[in-house]
Amino acid sequence: MRRNFCEFKEFIKDKNTAVVGIGISNKPLIKFLVKLGAKVTAFDKKNKTDLGETFGELNDIGVKMVLGEDYLEQLKGYEVIFKTPSMRYDNKALIKAKEEGAYITSEMEEFIKYCPAKIFGVTGSDGKTTTTSVIYEILKEEGHKTFVGGNIGAPLFAQIEEIRGEDKVVLELSSFQLMKMGNSTDVAVVTNLSPNHLDVHKDMEEYIDAKKNIYLHQKSSDVLILNRDNSITNSMTEEAKGRVMKFSLEDEIKDGAYYKNGTLYLKGAKVCEKEEMKLKGMHNVADFLAAFCAVFEDASIKSMKNVATTFNGVEHRGEFIRIANGVSYYNDSIASSPTRTIAGLKAFEKPVILIAGGYDKHIPFEPLAEEGYDKVKALILLGLTKNKIKSAFDKIIKEKAISIPIYMVNNLEEAVMKAKTISTEGDIVTLSPACASFDMFPNFEVRGNEFKKLVNDL
């Protein structure tokens, strides 16, 4: 049972409150907490110059700021601390603050605790953004007032007083956001699980355990949607607290969603033909099946079909940019894991020129080489992981006695120019990095937008 937001308003008033991180999600949070009467101090390793206009905005409403490289050393004496999503709870500064009596939480934890509307939560290693977006579009198509947030959309905690019980909320949730989550969503979707974010998580077990919090605190009336084709997610049935529905590309699941002979079904009813879908690739079919399961109690087959046949996809996910000199360019910057890059490669009907590499999340690239080698005409590598990816492909090239040209570049501009030089009419070039962006860009959106600009400037 969710709690009444009035409780939070009473709790936070006049509390000495710290917010760690002055980023996109926390800026509205800071302003909201001030509005609710909290005494807010914002912490960030950025300096006043880096913050730009944000510094003035927050200073004008009375927010104290602790800035600079040693900012966490001053995280003392606070009653409430809102951490940034990627900050681990076992951070020394947080452990010490908790020992001193601080209540430590995050924007997303408080939102799920107090949100009055039905919440659809989506997590997994790949496909989260597309599945979340499709659920949102179907609910809107059905006529529901719907909000989208979490990893995408606007930060929602600051809007919580606008949300009513009859509304719907769709959240894309990362393992970071779920790590200590004590409340689960009404509908929980786990798209799939494979090694990811092992630069932050201690091991794969901790990563999986974090994801499980999306359903471990559900009620018996809640719904858990699982991928039948993924061994890790399929095994979660045993721990489910609510009703379980599954989706599959391989098996006919009468009480779930499945794909058979070119058709997408939900509970035995035909939704649409694969050929009618705007989005191509079987990974997108799986995402739609997951979304159908999620909304089966709140939307009609008609609404599902309308979205499936008109939805053009999420920006930076297999996004067509342009044809230049007979070469087609695609932006798949959101593909920050090898499994998502493999899925993207499978969507094309012939081998492509692949631009890959980036920040090192300490996950293996052998699966990318083993499953993707026959879908790659040439490989252009950049970023911190370029040598790791090259090593994985060199091994498979030797084993299979095949030839895949590999080019090493220093930045995205060089990658685009190399792609232009080596491509011929009819070729496909895709940026599908299989890595996060943090070695060169703040996030995958900035990386994708830079790639689009470079391609459009050709």
Domain map of the chain by residue range? 5-105, 110-308, 319-456
| E strand segments, 325-409 | 327-331, 352-356, 376-381, 406-408
Rounded Cα distance between 444 and 58, Å, is 27
Q: Does position 393 have pLDDT exceeding 90, yes or no?
A: yes
Residue 278: the pLDDT is: 83
Contact call for residues 444 and 334 (beta carbons, < 8 A): yes
Of 113, 96, 103, nearest to 12 (Cα)?
Answer: 103
CB under 8 Å to 105, separation ≥6 — which residues?
80, 81, 82, 83
Q: Each residue of 55-66: b (16+ CB within 10 Å) or e?
A: beebeeeebebb
- CA distances to 174, 328, 379, 385, 389 from 408, in Å: 31, 21, 9, 11, 11
pLDDT in tens, 413-442: 999 999 999 999 999 999 999 999 989 998
- CATH code of the domain occupying 5-105: 3.40.50.720
Rounded Cα distance between 25 and 153, Å, is 10
Q: Does position 15 have pLDDT exceeding 70, yes or no?
A: yes
pLDDT in tens, 341-381: 998 998 898 999 999 999 998 889 999 999 999 999 999 99
Residue 24: the pLDDT is: 73
As beta bridge partners, residue 380 has: 355, 407
Contact call for residues 269 and 95 (beta carbons, < 8 A): no
pLDDT in tens, 106-154: 999 999 999 999 999 999 988 898 999 999 999 999 999 999 998 887 7
| Higher-scoring residue by pLDDT: 278, 191 | 191
Of 152, 129, 196, nearest to 359 (Cα)?
Answer: 196
Residue 198: the pLDDT is: 60
| Higher-scoring residue by pLDDT: 281, 293 | 293
Mean pLDDT within 389-402: 96
Locate tokens 């609910």: which residue?
Answer: 139
Q: Does position 41 have pLDDT exceeding 70, yes or no?
A: yes
Indicate the helix (H) or strand (E) that contains 412.
helix 412-422
Residue 320: the pLDDT is: 87
Give CB contacts under 8 A, 24+ apart, made by 406-413.
406/378, 406/379, 406/380, 406/381, 407/378, 407/379, 407/380, 407/381, 408/381, 408/382, 409/380, 409/381, 409/382, 410/382, 411/382, 411/440, 412/355, 412/382, 412/440, 412/447, 412/450, 412/451, 412/454, 413/454
| Higher-scoring residue by pLDDT: 51, 198 | 51
Q: Does position 57 have pLDDT exceeding 70, yes or no?
A: yes
pLDDT bin (cut points 50, 70, 90) of residue 197 is: low
Residue 109: the pLDDT is: 94
User: 39 — phi, psi (to 5°)?
Assistant: -95, 105
Mean pLDDT within 158-163: 95
Residue 32, CA atoms < 13 Å, CB-side half-sphere: 20
Q: Does position 287 have pLDDT exceeding 90, yes or no?
A: yes
Reduced to 3 states (helix: H, G, I; strand: E, B; else coil), residue 330 is: strand
Q: Do domains 110-308 and 319-456 have the same CATH topology?
A: no
The radius of gyration computed from the CA coordinates of the chain, to the nearest angstrom, equals 23
Among 1-5, 96-100, 197-201, the range with the most confident prediction by mean pLDDT is: 96-100
pLDDT bin (cut points 50, 70, 90) of residue 89 is: confident
CATH architecture of 110-308: 3-Layer(aba) Sandwich (3.40)
CATH of the structural domain 319-456, one choice from 3.40.50.300, 1.10.150.300, 3.90.190.20, 3.40.50.1000: 3.90.190.20
| Higher-scoring residue by pLDDT: 62, 196 | 62
Residue 171: the pLDDT is: 97
Q: Does position 56 have pLDDT exceeding 70, yes or no?
A: yes
User: 174 — phi, psi (to 5°)?
Assistant: -90, 170
Q: Could you give the percent of the chain with pLDDT greater than 70?
A: 98
Contact call for residues 365 and 341 (beta carbons, < 8 A): no
Q: Say how many C-beta atoms besides its own lie within 10 A of residue 310's C-beta.
A: 12
Average pLDDT, the chain: 93
Q: Does position 177 have pLDDT exceeding 80, yes or no?
A: yes
